[in-house]
Structure 1
Amino acid sequence: MPIAEIKKICLIGAGSIGCWNSLLFASAGYQCVVYDLSAAALASAPERQKWHIAMAQGMFSPEQVAAALQRISYTSSLETALQGADLISESVLEKLELKRQVHQQIEALCSPDAILTTNSSSLLVSEIEDAVVRRNRFAALHTNMLGRLMEVVPGPQTDPQVIDILTRFIVSCDQAPVVMLKEKDGYLANSMLFSWLKTAVLLVADGYGTFTDVDRSWCAGQNAPIGPMALVDGVGLDLIIDIFDAQFSKSADKDFKRAADFLRTYQARGLLGMKSGEGFYSYPDPAWQQPGFIMGR
């Protein structure tokens, strides 16, 4: 059931993460508006929603999905998107200056009472928050696509009441809340996830196995519903490249650069994953969702 403090949510960015979040939040009963400057991104957003529903594999009931899709609208007007928004979730590309500029634009137009959040996967709250004035209303609110975890990272000036609202909001979305004790790029889950994805990509890049066999090995060995290469497709190769580049710049781990460079060979051909219709797999109806995939049929 929606909490009283949040009625309308504005999602900045109509990429894979923004579309997933709108589906997640709308399925919990919240009115959502998705904003993007790109007309093409907005036009393809409903199709991405269909893929997310298929990838979620029973996470939402058919009734939830039908009701959720009725609660989601799309616009290329930032002013329209922010009007009356109680919670704003930003998920633009993992470019620090871009995120800082976007948050400045948002703050200039949104209600002073709105809670402003970033869904950044690899940047620190402290790297973004000084771009806004009302830092007491700012925090990181990070979702994990296809998972049931949402992480909150408060900044030094974040109002404890905001953290309480976000925590109750997470629970209302049937997600598990984790409030971090201090900031870390990648949060808790992604700090583990990034190394996993990097390893999977390099197993393919270095010729140890095909991308399908890497996914089959993980799914069969861990009884998991989705493999790492399929997840790369779902998140988007362009976003994974940005994340790997950021990890390389911070850690000097050359394997992150090697993995990013391998993905760039796909990006150069316009293969960005689910969002472009093809990445490692072809969409819709990718091979990893077909009966018998794990058994190699």
Structure 2
Amino acid sequence: MTDTGADLQRIGVVGCGLMGAGITEVNARAGLDVVVVESSEGAAAAGRERLERSLQRAEDKGKLSESAADVLARISIVTDLDALADRQLVVEAIVEDEDAKVSLFKRLDTLVADPQAILASNTSSIPIMKLGVVTSRPTQVMGIHFFNPVPVLRLVELVPSLLTSPETTERARSYVEGPLGKSAIDCQDRAGFVVNALLIPFVLSAIRMFESGFASAEDIDRGLVLGAAHPQGPLALADLIGLDTVKAVAESLYEEFKEPLYAAPPLLARMVDAGLLGRKSGRGFYRY
């Protein structure tokens, strides 16, 4: 009998950057066994430090039902993809690059032993179909898109491709809404899914306004916070997302729809080229 999503206990995560660490944390906090794969020992050490800091903050604020050490004990961070062989669900959270993701899914297909295992991507914009068709199990491949910061934001987008089985989607829903305690929405396999297809053009519009000299970054953001009750302004949000990610999602949207509102402004491209990526690099539209 096929397991339900609530029975998924052995979770794999590929990548322990900002998103990968958040996905790892919510799974471990839900009592699940998590193996995380990073590309190098240095990246693995940085990922562990990121997790330790986040969990310690949660413990200090009384948001954990157990100690940070107990949660960390359910997490293994390694550099060998072979460690994912026994996983029931693997979530890919690497760089937003189609070639890199396609190559990874080819590897995962050969490594993950359970034929019923779900191979999921946390991509913000890359079509799930392109990842599913390079495997021998496209019915088991889908998007499970978390939002940053993962431990805080409750939304998860579920994105089946045309080939994903209904059973896979329902297992994913059971997993997301069961042990993880999050809320899922259903999305078609189109670039940007629901949230980013609406959000990214809005952010790009704010960047164009700033780029043109129409208003300062501070005034643009204050206008949306104080005048539209947004929790933070669009430029501060872009810094939080990461300007490289904003650019990558915009390019995927433009590639799919060819609509001018999805085109990345020149300023965004120059900032990414300069390494001004927002919070994660210490400087974007603001300094951190």
State the TM-score bracket (shorter-chain normalisation). Answer: 0.7 to 0.9
Match of residue 184, structure 2, among 162, 168, 177:
177
Partner residue in 2 for 1:273: 278
Partner residue in 2 for 1:101: 103
Partner Cα separation in structure 2 for residue 75 and residue 216 of structure 1: 43
Q: Quick check: 1:226 aligned with 2:229? A: no
SS in structure 2 of the partner of residue 271 of structure 1: coil
1:48-95 deviation line (CA, Å, top 9, x unaligned): 457877999x99814478254443332221112x13211111122232
1:24-64 deviation line (CA, Å, top 9, x unaligned): 322322222322214443333245457877999x9981447
Unaligned runs of 5+ in 2: none
Decide which moves more: 128-137 or 243-252. Answer: 243-252
Unaligned runs of 5+ in 1: 284-297
Matched AA of 1:216? R
Note the aligned Cα RMSD (angstroms): 3.0
Partner residue in 1 for 2:155: 149
- Work out whether residues 121 and 142 of structure 1, in 8 Å CA contact, stay in contact via their aligned partners in 2: yes
1:160-192 deviation line (CA, Å, top 9, x unaligned): 222221111111212111223x42221112211
Matched AA of 1:113? Q
Matched AA of 2:77? Y
The size of the alignment, in residue pairs, is 278
Matched AA of 1:233? D
Q: Quick check: 1:134 aligned with 2:140? A: no
Once the two structures are aligned, what percentage of the paired residues are identical? Answer: 27
- Work out whether residues 143 and 158 of structure 2, in 8 Å CA contact, stay in contact via their aligned partners in 1: yes
1:217-261 deviation line (CA, Å, top 9, x unaligned): 2222343333322332222222221112222223333454342x3
1:282–1:28: structure 2 CA closer, same or farther, 3 Å change rule? Answer: farther
1:220–1:21: structure 2 CA closer, same or farther, 3 Å change rule? Answer: farther
1:240-284 deviation line (CA, Å, top 9, x unaligned): 21112222223333454342x31232223322223333333344x
Matched AA of 1:148? R
1:179–1:255: structure 2 CA closer, same or farther, 3 Å change rule? Answer: closer
Decide which moves more: 132-141 or 267-276. Answer: 267-276
Partner Cα separation in structure 2 for residue 43 and residue 143 of structure 1: 23
1:44–1:275: structure 2 CA closer, same or farther, 3 Å change rule? Answer: farther
Partner residue in 1 for 2:79: 76
